[in-house]
């Protein structure tokens, strides 16, 4: 398989656009409109979790999925070690490590600190569509995960 030679500046711009997608994804989930995360995917985009055989495909299904998150959920995701590999002028892949801090039942103010609910990594495939880089697939691997704590639970905060 022959890999397409890319101009170094084109490659750098593609890497930066894909890194920005990774960060914009979590910003929209944590601070923006979660349903709009679907707009970061290609029309046939997929988010899947191999453990548990969960898979959501297509923008409408993704919008419903992300938009259904509880209104009282407080979350913050920390992403790091974003490694983008540009494979052609219109495709790229990435691996990103993340930790998710999350509680339900949040009203206002500060929630008591706690360990992350999830620690894992994303494996992403990107595709350039009409000049814009989008997520084609996101696969989530969760070697460390637990239930989302409900604030006010007797064993919780």
Would you give per-residue pLDDT tens digits along the chain (157 residues)? 455 688 999 999 999 999 999 999 999 999 988 999 999 999 999 999 998 889 999 999 999 999 999 999 999 999 999 999 999 999 999 999 999 999 999 999 999 899 999 999 999 999 999 999 999 999 999 999 999 999 985 554 4
Whether 44 is in a domain gets the answer yes
Whether 136 is in a domain gets the answer yes
Report how many domains make up the chain: 1
Whether 28 is in a domain gets the answer yes
Residue 151 in contact with residue 103, Cβ under 8 Å? yes
Task: Find the CATH number of the domain harbouring 107.
Answer: 3.10.450.50
**CA distance linking residue 86 with residue 124, whole number of Å:** 12
Q: How distant, in Å, are the alpha carbons of 3, 90, 127 from that of 131?
A: 20, 9, 10
Residue 30 in contact with residue 76, Cβ under 8 Å? yes
Full residue range of the structural domain in which residue 12 is found:
8-150
Closest CA relative to residue 70, chosen from 142, 145, 149, 137: 149
Q: How distant, in Å, are the alpha carbons of 106, 109, 149, 150, 151 from that of 155?
A: 16, 20, 9, 9, 9
Q: What was the pLDDT predicted at 32?
A: 83
The secondary structure of 25-92, three-state, reads HHHHHHHCCHHHHHHHEEEEEEEEECCCCEEEECHHHHHHHHHCCCCCCEEEEEEEEEEEEEEECCEE
Whether 52 is in a domain gets the answer yes
* Global pTM value: 0.90
Closest CA relative to residue 139, chosen from 105, 95, 102: 95
Whether 157 is in a domain gets the answer no
């Amino acid at each position: 398989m022959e890999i397409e030679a890319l101009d170094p500046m084109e490659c750098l711009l593609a890497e930066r656009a894909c890194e920005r997608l990774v960060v914009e994804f979590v910003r929209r989930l944590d601070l923006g409109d979660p349903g709009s995360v679907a707009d970061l995917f290609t029309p046939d985009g997929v988010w899947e979790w191999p453990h548990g055989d969960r898979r959501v495909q297509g923008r409408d299904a993704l919008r419903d999925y992300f938009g259904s998150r509880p209104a009282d959920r407080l979350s913050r995701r920390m992403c790091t070690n974003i490694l983008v590999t540009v494979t052609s002028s219109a495709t790229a892949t990435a691996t990103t490590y993340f930790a998710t801090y999350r509680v339900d039942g949040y009203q206002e103010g500060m929630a008591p600190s706690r360990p992350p609910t999830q620690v894992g990594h994303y494996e992403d495939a990107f595709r350039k569509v009409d000049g814009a880089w989008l997520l084609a697939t996101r696969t989530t691997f969760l070697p460390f995960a637990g239930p989302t704590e409900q604030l006010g639970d007797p064993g919780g905060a």
